[in-house]
A and B are shown apart, each in its own frame.
Chain A
Amino acid sequence: MKLQDARKDLLAGAVFTGFGLAFAVTASTYDIGTALRMGPGFFPLVLGAILVLLGISIAVKGFVAGEGGDLGTVPWRSLVLLIAAILFFGATVRDLGLVPALFVSVLLAALAGRGVRVVPAVVIAASLTALSVLIFVVALQLRLSLVGPWLGG
């Protein structure tokens, strides 16, 4: 079995093992308690250990009988833009206000599409911002300030 064919399973195994270890190690710093009076660390410690075992099993199984399969392409540009859009909204909605924060976020998201140029993206962002204000502020009456303190709102 070639290493490449097991790549997917090896990676998945590593991710699960990593999470399991992180949870188990952190849990062991909490009070474990006894079976009668379980402490806060008991349940996560046991689960973390199980996850490590599962992670190792997945990796081993991948090595022995990997179904292979290519990872396929990862749309890195889209990934970065979408995540940036979400983070930007979270970081600025309070201070910039809903309208500017949402406009920039949706613009970033729209640019994540394949072969979308700037002008259509601006049109999409402007329309969707207007639509969102209508839905969330006018119709659903969410208490969100349209323009935040940074812009004198």
Chain B
Amino acid sequence: MGILDSLALGFETAFTPVNLLFCLIGVTLGTAVGVLPGIGPTATMALLLPITFGFDPATSLIMLAGIYYGAQYGGSTTAILINLPGESSAAVTAIDGHQMAKQGRAGKALATAALGSFFAGSVATLLVALLATPLSRLALDFGPAELASLILLGLIASITLASGSTLKALAMIVLGLLLGTVGQDIGSGTPRFTFGQRELFDGLDFVSLAVGLFGVAEILRNLEGSMVRSVVVKKVQDLWLTREDFRRIRMPVLRGTALGSALGVLPGAGHVLASFISYSTEKRAAKDPQEFGRGAIQGVAGPESANNAAAQTSFIPLLTLGLPANAVMALLIGALLIQGIVPGPNVINEEPGLFWGLIVSFWIGNLFLVLLNLPLIGLWVKMLAIPYRWLFPAIIGFAAIGTFSINLNAFDVYAIAFFAVLGYGLIKLGCEPAPLLLGFVLGPLLEEYVRRALTISQGDATVFVTRPLSLTLLVLAVVAFVVAVLPTVRRKREVVFVEEDDGSRPPQPAQAGTGDGAARR
């Protein structure tokens, strides 16, 4: 099947009324949670997973994916209007975007962000479409040994770009892998770690884990402080860019698109990294670098293009290899598994409609987003006024109903509470929850491939290093690990992520506890 036939099939799938509708719902929801404080795309997708259970697989993925890249748009809206990025990758956009808003140029900043994102999203989608077939074909030669090594590489690489302590991230991955082993063993049927509970025979519920870890734990983190934010800009006007504006954003958009497309493929927070690198690139390339930080339009155009391109190309490892690059992609794997589809290089051949339909839907979704974000910007500004005390009880209620409705099983609801406490506790101790989710999703696959590889090789463990492809992947994993622990890289990484952490968290009022801690040090 040539690329044109494939795309035609994709358009056929994506342009059905149902899929168009759910693509629109997805990107609208995505924009909403990108705008709203205290709930991100990961939590939203986790909350909506149970609802997608009854959908057609293509519809389900189209909607969930829309939430992810829609949130990139919404995140930049809050970054520009109130200097609080709704999404971590929009932290850079806030630097110049908010300055522009203060100078009364909010409309221009929003238009730049939306148009840059649209261009970048379209190019990156084309890239995904072009690369998908050859990469999947390459991956089809993978045996169990290669697949096991590939998963190991993915897991290790995901900590290289993550924030925080490498050791803790590693421990979170291993804990995730272990939680993934709960349930009946595939080989022998022996129930493992079930404590005789029949409900645990099928393993811990993925939705409960995701909702508890990302939804409820995040609420608890937000309830530590007060969630009050003030909207500086109440009314947005003048959305048109002049010819001069277009001239100034042309190169930043192109460079941002290229950077983002390349970095998005990397596991971990590729899109965050892409927007930071794009910003520093533009600052260096600009004729008047001192304007950066004071409302430079290039400082909005570059990073916004970069993070949206990256959001799109981060689907490449998922679609071709079945390997999630980040927590959002892990959720999509979960969505596929719920539908009975095993993610991997076979999806492109076995489910071509789903595969190409999803890719085409990216482009449609991006188009929807431009329409949603420019003419309807006033609606989103109003939405910023929704108080958090309304938002989080709704999240709890939806989480409980949604999770219960999958299996009509109270146990799955209790599991949310367990993972919420576990997740919140671990976050408090400086551990990021994303690696745990990756480990949980990939654990059963890793175990199966390792066991299969060893059975084929008659128990010879050297199979992983004697097969050239597997060896290459393992060497890359070692390199990724060394890079992650190297002091110089660590320091640079901290610089990148410290800014992000400052920006993406709501302002916390000084509290007795923290003040005390500061005084002691």
Contacts and interface: CB of A to CB of B under 8 A. Distances in A.
A16 B430 CA distance: 13
Contacts of A39: 187-188, 190
Contacts of A94: 408, 410
Contacts of A38: 187, 450-451, 454
A66 B417 CA distance: 31
Given A23-B193, A79-B424, A136 B520 contact: no
Contact of A15 (B51, B185, B401, B425): B425
Contacts of A114: 223, 226
B74 to A, nearest CB: 21
Contacts of A142: 401, 405
Nearest to B515: A70
A19 B401 contact: no
A81 B518 CA distance: 29
B430 A106 contact: no
Contact of A124 (B171, B390, B451): B390
A45 to B, nearest CB: 10
A23 B204 CA distance: 15
Contact of A12 (B424, B429, B512): B429
Given A40-B187, A113-B388, A72 B192 contact: no
B393 A106 contact: yes
Nearest to B189: A40
Interface string B140-177: 00000000000000000000000001011011001101
Interface string A47-64: 110110011011001000
A144 interface: yes
B171 A58 contact: yes
Given A12-B431, A34-B459, A44-B192, A58 B167 contact: yes
B397 A54 contact: no
A36 interface: yes
Interface in A113-137: 113-114, 116, 120, 124-125, 128-129, 131-132, 136
Contacts of B113: none
Interface string A74-89: 1100110011011101
Interface string B456-477: 0011010000000000000000
A69 B430 contact: yes
A70 B455 contact: no
B25 to A, nearest CB: 11
Contacts of A91: 410
A16 to B, nearest CB: 5
A27 B191 CA distance: 11
Contacts of B520: 4
A86 B389 contact: no
Given A93-B404, A106-B393, A106-B397, A51 B429 contact: no
A82 B219 contact: yes
Instruction: Summarize A's interface: helix, strand, loop or mixed.
Output: helix
Interface in B369-401: 388-390, 392-394, 396-401
Interface centre among A37, A40, A94, A106 (most CB of B within 10 A): A40
B401 A136 contact: yes
A44 B514 contact: no
A54 B389 contact: no
A110 B393 contact: yes
A40 B444 CA distance: 12
A26 B396 CA distance: 33
B91 interface: no
Contact of B426 (A12, A82, A136): A12
B346 interface: no
Contacts of B517: 69-70, 72
A129 B393 CA distance: 10
Interface residues of A, number: 76
Contact of A72 (B188, B224, B398): B224
Contacts of A30: 185, 190, 192
Given A44-B181, A112-B223, A106 B461 contact: no
A109 B193 contact: no
B204 to A, nearest CB: 13
Given A93-B404, A93-B410, A36 B458 contact: yes
Contacts of B390: 124, 128
B126 interface: no
Contacts of B188: 31, 39-40
Contacts of A67: 165
A2 to B, nearest CB: 9
Nearest to A114: B226
B400 A89 contact: yes
B420 A132 contact: no
Contacts of A128: 390, 393-394, 397
B414 interface: yes
B421 A83 contact: yes
Interface in B419-460: 420-421, 424-426, 428-431, 447, 450-451, 454-455, 458-459
A15 B426 contact: yes
B46 to A, nearest CB: 14
Contacts of A132: 397-398, 401
A144 B400 CA distance: 13
Contacts of B426: 12, 15
A47 B178 contact: yes
A140 interface: yes
CB-CB nearest 9 A-B residue pairs: A36-B459, A70-B517, A90-B413, A40-B185, A12-B429, A109-B393, A109-B396, A89-B400, A113-B389
Given A40-B192, A83-B420, 13 more contacts: A8-B430, A12-B168, A23-B181, A38-B450, A38-B451, A58-B171, A70-B514, A72-B428, A72-B513, A94-B410, A105-B400, A136-B402, A144-B405
Interface of B: 51, 165, 167-168, 170-171, 174-175, 177-178, 181, 185, 187-188, 190, 192-193, 216, 219-220, 223-224, 226, 388-390, 392-394, 396-402, 404-405, 408, 410-414, 416-417, 420-421, 424-426, 428-431, 447, 450-451, 454-455, 458-459, 461, 511-514, 516-518, 520-521
7 contacts: A8-B430, A15-B426, A30-B192, A39-B187, A44-B181, A47-B181, A78-B220
